[in-house]
């Protein structure tokens, strides 16, 4: 009893699971439906655009005020590289977490920095991609493909950005020496979210970029 009193705020949980970790998992479950709705919409409108530009094929599109032949917008090599960087950053954050749990500060800070840089690279890749597509004539409201593509990948990019801010905040804590092993959960929560953002991209990449 006195034990429970002493730990009134953080009593031993009924399941033994960490409460914050359970909350993140619950939130991720909810996010799955969020992205499922966005991806379904992209698929429903796949091939339904009335004008170009289109993702994989040349098409007729309105560019510079007149209808003309437009090239396909996607450039698979660039996004493949970005995908690889994002996936590797998931590995980096696992190494960083190991560093945090074992009290290896160098390992923690090094790998966590790499994770943040990887995330930033991915966001930068996406900004470059959007900019590039826009100049190929693919504005936000150009056609159904552009609206559903920018909305889906834009929301994913926003998630990556939030993940980067979260991880960077933890990195600052780590550099200030405020992430001892007993507080490694602070990194693990961000890492769980980061893995989820990666997993969503693993679905988006083939569905959006590879599937014709």
Q: Which residues bind another protein (CB under 8 A)?
A: 1-2, 4-6, 8-9, 11, 13-15, 17, 19, 22-23, 26-27, 29-31, 33-34, 37-38, 41, 44-45, 48-50, 140-141, 143-144, 147-148, 151, 169
Q: How far is the CB of 148 from another protein (least distance, A)?
A: 7
Q: How far is the CB of 52 from another protein (least distance, A)?
A: 13
| Residue (80 or 169) nearer to another protein, CB | 169
| Residue (104 or 151) nearer to another protein, CB | 151
Q: How far is the CB of 38 from another protein (least distance, A)?
A: 6
Q: How far is the CB of 127 from another protein (least distance, A)?
A: 17
| Residue (128 or 140) nearer to another protein, CB | 140
| Residue (13 or 102) nearer to another protein, CB | 13
| Residue (81 or 140) nearer to another protein, CB | 140
Q: Is 65 left (phi over 0), alpha (psi -120 to 50) or beta?
A: left
- Bond from prior residue into 139 cis (ω within 30 degrees of 0): no
For residue 128, what are its two tokens? 């470059």
Q: How far is the CB of 20 from another protein (least distance, A)?
A: 8
């Amino acid at each position: 009893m006195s034990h429970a009193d002493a730990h009134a705020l953080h009593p031993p949980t009924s399941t033994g699971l960490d409460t914050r970790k359970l909350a993140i998992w619950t939130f991720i479950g909810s996010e799955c439906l969020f992205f499922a709705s966005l991806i379904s919409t992209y698929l429903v409108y796949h091939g339904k655009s009335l004008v170009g530009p289109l993702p994989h094929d040349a098409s007729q599109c309105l560019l510079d005020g007149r209808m003309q032949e437009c090239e396909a917008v996607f450039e698979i090599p660039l996004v493949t590289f970005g995908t690889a960087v994002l996936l590797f950053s998931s590995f980096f954050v696992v190494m960083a977490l190991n560093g945090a749990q074992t009290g290896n500060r160098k390992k923690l800070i090094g790998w966590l920095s790499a994770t943040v840089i990887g995330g930033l690279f991915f966001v930068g890749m996406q900004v470059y991609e959007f900019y590039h597509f826009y100049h190929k004539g693919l504005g936000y409201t150009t056609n159904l493909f552009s609206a559903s593509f920018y909305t889906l990948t834009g929301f994913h990019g926003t998630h990556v950005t939030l993940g980067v801010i979260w991880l960077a905040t933890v990195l600052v804590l780590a550099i200030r020496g405020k992430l001892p092993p007993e507080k490694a959960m602070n990194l693990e929560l961000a890492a769980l979210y980061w893995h989820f953002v990666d997993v969503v991209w693993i679905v988006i990449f083939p569905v959006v970029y590879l599937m014709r």
